[in-house]
Structure 1
Amino acid sequence: MPVNVTITAEELIALLAERDAARALREEQEALRGALRLVTAERDLAEERLRAYRQELFGVKSEARGSDQLGLFNEAEVLGAGRMPAREDSPESTVSAHTRKKRGHRKPLDPNLPRDVVRHELPEAERFCMNDGHALVEFGVEISEQLDVIPEQLRVIQHQRVKYACPCCDLGIKVTPAPARIIPRGLLGESALAWIATGKYQFGMPLYRQAGLLRRFGGDISSNTIAASMVRVGLASQPVINLLRDALLDAGLIYCDETTLQVLKEEGRRPKTTSYLWAQMTGSGVPIRCFTYTPGRGTKLADRLFTGIRSGAVMMTDGYEPYNDIARRYELVHLGCWVHVRRYFVKAEDSVPKAARTHDLLATRFIKLIGRLFAAEVRSETWSAQRRQRLRRRYSARVLDAIHALMLEQSHGVVPKSLLGKGLTYLRAQWPKLIRYIENGDWPVSNNACENAIRPFCVGRRSWLFSDTVDGANASANLYTLVETAKANGIDPYRYLTWLFQRLPLAKTADDYEALLPWRMPVDLR
């Protein structure tokens, strides 16, 4: 039988109060749990940033990983039964149960170098046989060679301009005109200017150090004079730079990247304001490396670098947004860089304590998959474009599908502000550009080539630190362009700059300047 329970009003009010108190307690506990989760997430992010900063400051800078993470594939249906050949320059060879280093072989000295023969003979008193006392006869020599260095030698070229006068009057006076020079009345000759330019822009030696080096050999020239000379020759080469840029913009494939540069004296800008040096290079046709200075890196400034590019050209860049605007405006095929994607996941992996790293770490899984893409490119490096494209469609496309599936599966469970979250965000944003390279066997998978082209500037910047003026920055960009383009065409930069500086003052027409491009230099002078 049902039991009737009578509750007084006071008891009902007490029960409702207890219920409300319990509910409030649960809500408070839930809020505390949420706050704890937030604080824990913020703590984890702070620890991750701290580990990333420590890695950046004190850790190994290389992004290379072990052979297992390079993802060297061996699927039979893709590669066939053949094995990958061993690298010829491998420093070790496996012998039975242990590893033994190969014996090194000294590289022979250049046979074209001049040689001074120093003959070493036994004294006359020792040229006899210890057994029977007969005189020894010469039957050959043992030859060993050492490289010797003759210090730099300076000389002064004295120009004597002959003056002529009429013996019968005082009006018929003539003076031989001065030869055309790249710096009229300049103190430094063309070969000296080329030597200084290659010292700074090829080997990263600051001008004040070169001034000190010249003083050792008797050339007491101030660093200010040298710097002014570099600015003048850099700006004087602008017509050749313009022709190089025109040829670059006409190429079918262009790489682009940028790095920071500090200019101390620029109107309307503080000395510590960051400026930029842009690097562009061709991926097809004649090798060209162009460097351009800009006070910033917005879309309007970047647009100047591509004015005149032909529609339908291919552009390889990182994920910087202005490149997207450039690609849309000029209707370019825009490719994404897989090295930049991989870099995010390398940083995420490095931020994890070594004790906590496993093969199933999400960042490591992405690195392994991306490594398979690059392994395919390494294997097909010497193949024809058609054969490489077949490999990309049959193998790389499946790896891309695996990367895409893993990205969609893990995106919702990763904190967006973490290093791994930033990597996933970048991967999602760049995905349409990242997968486009499989459409053509000639298209690159990364922007590494351009990063390698801009590296000499970054290395040199550690020594000379900044440019004093805007003219100096533009002149440096021009000279870097000439040096790196000469190197890309297999020409010694010193010889090219000497040849260019001697002929540049004589050029008058567009054809004259066209004849001064690096690949037009006579082969016997390179």
Structure 2
Amino acid sequence: MASLPNDPAALKELLVDKASYIAQLEEQVRLLKAILHLAKSERQAKPTTKEMQYSLFDEAEAVAGEQSEAIESGEVAVAAHARKKTGRRPIPQEFPRVEVVHDIPEADKVCPCGCELTRIGEEVSEKLDFIPATIQVIRHIRPKYACRACEGTEDDGPTVKTAPMPPQLIPQGLATPGLVAYVLASKFVDGLPFYRQERIFERLGLDISRATMCGWALQVARACQPLVGLLSEESRSGPIINLDETVVQVLGEVGRANTSPSYMWLVRGGPPEHPAVLFHYAPTRSGQVAEELVGDFQGYLQTDGFAGYNALGEREGIIHVGCLAHVRRKFVEALKAGSKKSSGGTAQTVVDLIGKLYHLEKQAQDAKCDADQVHAMRQAKATPIMARIKALLLEREKTTPPKSLLGKAIAYALGQWDRVAVYLKDGHLRPDNNLAENAIRPFAVGRKNWLFSGSPAGAAASAALYSLIETAKANDLEPLRYLHFLFEKLPLAKSQDDFRALLPQHLDSKTISA
């Protein structure tokens, strides 16, 4: 009590500060409760039965994909007449068919009148079967030839000839390209750690340790370094680069504790029709890493609001583009933390207006508009909506406590506004950085399964393999088939042109399946 001031005005100021502090704490508690107990979806609509089933079994990966699609399309309502087709999808024709005929007994093929029945057709029902993985051994047999006439002579002995062993992805190793592709796709595509694969192989009667699989991954990553270098070049060859980064824990970093955070960076760029995706491990989140990844690139650079990109975005020749999805996310957090009395209001209005912007983007996408048409649409329809949002933010900024979640959302939006609004000027741009976030998401999902990388070399190897896999996916190639094709052809590559021809963006599905 003795520390309290005697001045009534000072006391009032203390009370106001205390009330504001308590309000902020209550807001944070509501947000934490929302994160813990509510669905993670950023949509405000009632969850569907399918979404509730996902949450029952904690299918985070499946829900994450749907969230991204919802944010990009700006779903805010479902039309009453819009219905999805129900029923089972047909089984793709490329799967082999095994026919099992269920015929009636021969005695039943005679009519009661005495005439033989005639086959007039058939009823066919198809059911999916699964054959467990089959292990086979490929024996490389190389006949040896010698000259009998030279036996017993005093020279260097008889001439012996043997065909050379074809170049191997892993010299002296026991794994074929098919096995290595399966192991690496299981981890880096399906998020299945090596220790779980070890148990699967045990059930098949095969002893392949996780240490062996780690060794394969390291050797393959080293062999793929020429491809990674070319991916880095091609990522800077297009008009737009998307950058993102996420935390990864790496053990054994020199001079750093094992609990220190490291980062996996992602660059997505190159020609829009044939994009390149590059992962890069670094022990720091410094903006210098981003500068090294971008190199001498000139064009549009799209990122989130991380301050480490600011200096790079101000460099001559680079136009910095912001992320509307991150702006929206701040207001969604404010909505989740809002009290029942304050539900709706500014945050809901902003979210709804951003939803209209995404609805316009979805319409243009469905209509397959070209860049000029998209630009014209944005100038006519999106620009007025953006102006309404900015005017609302400027008005509410004056009356909203700056330390509240809504105040922080408004400050973030206004601080990023000039960059976010850049997308209105070019129809090739997207309103958000979701292309980069979608590419880095598989790494974030896989990280939940293996928690950390065992060494800097392991993190760098993971970055190389993720680069090739995500580039394959971005170019509509099935990752396992691409890896199998790559690992068969890679030992034969000698020149830069040979390696470049193996990049996913220079291949198609028919080539890798041949």
1:459 aligned partner: 445
What residue number does 1:15 align with? none
Q: 2:275, 2:505 within 8 Å by CA — same for their partners in 1? A: no
Give the 3 Å change call, closer, same or farther, for CA 102–290 of structure 1 in structure 2.
closer
* 1:45 to 2:29 alignment: no
Q: 1:58: Cα distance to partner?
A: 2.4
Q: Which amino acid aligns with 1:239?
A: P
Note the alpha carbon deviations across 1:443-493, whole angstroms, 9 max, x for none.
111111211111111111111221111111111111111111112212222
Q: Is the 8 A contact 2:242 2:301 kept in 1?
A: yes
- CA displacement at 1:395 relative to structure 2: 1.8
Give the 3 Å change call, closer, same or farther, for CA 301–352 of structure 1 in structure 2: same
Give the whole-Å Cα distance in 2 for the aligned partners of 1:44 and 1:31.
20
Q: 2:246 aligns with which of 249, 254, 259?
A: 259
Deviation at 1:32, TM superposition (A): 2.7
Aligned equivalent of 2:35, options 49, 56, 59 = 56
Instruction: State yes or no: 1:370 paired with 2:354.
Output: yes
Match of 1:290 among 274, 278, 282: 278
Matches within 5 A, 1:150-299: 150-166=131-147, 167-168=150-151, 169=153, 170-171=156-157, 172-282=159-269, 284-299=272-287
Q: Structure 1 residue 102: deviation in Å?
A: 7.0
- Partner Cα distance (2:478, 2:172) in 1: 27
Q: Structure 2 vs 1, CA of residues 507 and 134 (structure 1 numbering), >3 Å: closer, same or farther?
A: closer
1:499 and 1:358, CA in 2 relative to 1: closer, same or farther beyond 3 A? closer
- 1:30 deviates by 3.0
Deviation at 1:123, TM superposition (A): 2.9
Shift of 1:152: 0.8
Out of 98, 121, 127, the position equivalent to 1:146 is 127
Aligned to 2:436: 450
Distance 1:342 1:91 in 2: 20
Q: In structure 2, how many angstroms separate the alpha carbons of the residues matched to 1:92 and 1:46?
A: 39
- Name the residue aligned to 1:356: 341
Q: Does 1:517 align with 2:507?
A: no
Which residue is equivalent to 2:461? 475
Alignment of 1:373-412 (within 5 A): 373-381=357-365, 382-412=368-398
Q: Which amino acid aligns with 2:288?
A: K
Give the Cα separation in 1 of the matches to 2:381 and 2:512: 47
TM-score (ref. length: structure 1): 0.84
CA contact (8 A) 2:471 2:505 kept: no
Match of 2:421 among 435, 444, 469: 435
Sort the Cα spacing of 1:137 and 1:177 in 2 relative to 1 into closer, same or farther, 3 A. closer
Letter in 2 for 1:284: P
Summarize deviations over 1:121-155 as a string: whole Å, max 9, x none: 2234545667x676544322111000111111111
Alpha-carbon distance in structure 2 between the residues aligned to 1:92 and 1:104: 17
Give the 3-state SS of the residue equivalent to 2:491 in structure 1: helix
Task: Give me the whole-angstrom Cα distance separating, in 2, the residues matched to 1:274 and 1:524.
Answer: 41
Hey, what does 1:426 align to over in structure 2?
412
1:506 deviates by 2.1
> Partner of 1:265: helix, strand, or coil?
coil
Q: Which amino acid aligns with 1:439?
A: K
Pairing 1:34–2:13 present: yes
Q: Distance in 2 between matches of 1:305 and 1:396?
A: 33
- The count of residues paired between Structure 1 and Structure 2 equals 470
Query: CA offset at residue 272 of structure 1?
Result: 1.1
Contact 2:335 2:343 in 1 (8 A): no
3-state DSSP of counterpart to 2:314: helix
Q: Which amino acid in the other structure matches residue 363 of structure 2? A: R
> Where do 1:328-347 residues align within 5 Å?
328-329=314-315, 331-347=317-333
Gap runs ≥5 in structure 1: 1-24, 68-89
After TM superposition, give the deviation of residue 412 of structure 1 in Å.
2.2
State the alpha-carbon separation in 2 of the partners of residues 119 and 380 from structure 1. 50
- What secondary structure, in the 3-state scheme, does the structure 1 residue paired with 2:125 have? coil
| Equivalent residue number for residue 291 of structure 2 | 303
The alpha-carbon deviation at position 426 of structure 1 amounts to 0.8
Preserved CA contact (<8 Å) 1:251 1:285? no
Q: What's the offset of the Cα at 1:319?
A: 0.7
TM-superposition CA deviations, 1:276-312 (whole Å, max 9, x none): 1112212724122111111111112222211132x2x
Q: 1:128 to 1:179 in 2, by over 3 A?
A: closer
- Distance in 2, matches of 1:511 and 1:385, equals 32
In 2 relative to 1, CA 377–521 (structure 1 residues): closer, same or farther, beyond 3 Å?
closer
SS at match of 1:498: helix
Aligned residue for 2:315, secondary structure, equals: helix
Superposition deviation, residue 330 in structure 1: 5.0
CA distance in 2, matches of 1:512, 1:178: 21
In the alignment, the residues of structure 2 paired with residue 356 and residue 295 of structure 1 have an alpha-carbon distance, to the nearest angstrom, of: 45
Determine the C-alpha separation between the residues in 1 that align with 2:232 and 2:167. Answer: 26
Secondary structure of 1:38's match?
A: helix
Partners of 1:262 and 1:467 within 8 A in 2: yes
Could you tell me the percent identity over the aligned residues?
Answer: 37
Q: Secondary structure at the match of 2:119?
A: coil
Q: Which moved more, 1:211-220 or 1:331-340?
A: 211-220
Choose which of 87, 103, 125 in structure 2 pairs with 1:105: 87
Shift of 1:261: 0.8
Look at both structures and tell me which one has the larger radius of gyration over its CA atoms.
1
Residues 51 and 358 of structure 1: is their aligned pair in 2 closer, same or farther, counting only changes over 3 Å? closer
Are the aligned partners of 1:154 and 1:218 in contact in 2 as well (CA < 8 Å)? no
- CA RMSD in angstroms, aligned pairs only: 2.4
1:93, distance to aligned residue in structure 2 (A) = 6.1
Instruction: Give unmatched runs, 5+ long, in structure 2.
Output: 47-76
Which secondary structure state, in structure 2, belongs to the residue aligned with residue 389 of structure 1? Answer: helix
